[in-house]
Amino acid sequence: NPNAPFLTLKPAFPIVTMDYNPKDSNILISGLMSGQVACWDIRRGHEPVEMSLAENSHRDPCDKALWINSKTGTEFFSASKDGQIKWWDTRKLQAPIESLVIDLVKTEEQNIDRATGISALQFESSIGTRFMCGLEN
């Protein structure tokens, strides 16, 4: 039936953003209102197959989730108004691979309290190590 949904996802928190995996359209990632990220496999039902731990997630809602061009096809970035970009692997969402705090003050250490919120995130697939972000300021 073209007027009925194929599947309705049932997240623990409202979904803010979602992206299909370009290498496998059965796999989706989502950013949640709680700041967490979730991975879904639509072949396995309406519940997420993996979800990040709250303490390792964003402090504000996860506004952006974006697959990156990795050999495994399991890696993605997330961004939030909390001023952090996190690099994740869906095979282990308990904690990010790495976190970047967008602190515009040049010091030895990044400070989350000075972070500038992220309003846009884009990955350049032809250059595997480059991404761009738009800031709130």
Q: pTM of the predicted model, to two decimals? A: 0.89
Which bin fits 122, alpha (ψ -120 to 50), beta or left (φ > 0)? beta
Please give the pLDDT value at position 136. 86
- Break the chain into its structural domains and give their ranges: 15-135
Residue of 51 and 130 predicted with greater confidence: 51
Q: In what order do the strands lie in the sheet with 98-101?
A: 62-67, 75-80, 84-89, 98-101
Give the type of residue at 42.
I
Give the model confidence (pLDDT) of 52-111 as tens digits: 999 999 999 999 999 998 889 999 999 999 999 999 999 999 999 999 998 888 888 888
pLDDT in tens, 109-130: 888 888 989 998 887 777 767 7
Q: Does domain 15-135 have CATH number 3.40.630.10?
A: no
Each residue's pLDDT tens digit, 9-38:
999 999 999 999 999 999 999 999 999 999
Question: Among positive and negative, which fits the CA dihedral 90, 31, 56, 11?
Answer: negative
What number of other Cβ atoms are within 10 A of residue 61's Cβ?
19
Indicate left, alpha or beta for 16 from its phi (over 0: left) and psi (-120 to 50: alpha): alpha
